[in-house]
Amino acid sequence: MPQNKIFHFGVFEADPGSGELRKSGVRLRLPEQPFQGFLLLVERPGEVVSREELRQKLWPADTFVDFDHSLNTIINKLREMLGDSASSPRFVETLANRGYRFLPAVEVVTNLERRQAWRMPRPVRRTGQAETSQSRLRL
């Protein structure tokens, strides 16, 4: 079974395997092409991703498109989904004539690690009373 990576940053997580971006567990609607551009940024936090790298990732070589307008639209869509802005970026920083940089730290986990975390027992709160299996169920 493949161990797909999940990218966590703040209240967000991106799952390349399912093509989903979630905020606090709620799935956000992000079309495939902006999601692929977003993954390129998230996979390299703190690094400059050039506009040319994004072009190569998002459009096949034989595609004719108004690249500047299309890429700007994709970046604006990403910022909208993240609640970010170009003037005071928290997530996607524009580097004029160079590209973009993903600013926050990103934690990478696998689906397997994620499933194991859900199976881990949760700590029992102690109330000073004798704990029984019945009292644990009420917590």
Residue whose structure tokens are 């973009």: 100
Q: What is the pLDDT of residue 1?
A: 40
Q: What is the pLDDT of residue 139?
A: 44
The domains found in the chain, sorted by start residue, are 5-138 (1.10.10.10)
Smallest Cα–Cα separation from 98: which of 80, 78, 71? 71
User: Which pTM does this prediction carry?
Assistant: 0.73
Per the model's pLDDT, the better-predicted residue between 132 and 12 turns out to be: 12
Confidence class for position 57, pLDDT limits 50, 70, 90: confident
Between CA 16 and CA 39 the distance in angstroms is: 7
Instruction: Give the phi and the psi of residue 74 in degrees, each rounded to 5.
Output: -65, -45
For the chain, the first-to-last Cα distance in angstroms comes to 35
Res 53 pLDDT > 80? yes
Which stretches within 2-127 are classed as H helix?
32-42, 51-58, 67-82, 111-119
Q: For 92-137, write each residue's pLDDT tens digit.
A: 999 998 999 999 999 998 765 554 444 444 455 555 555 444 444 4
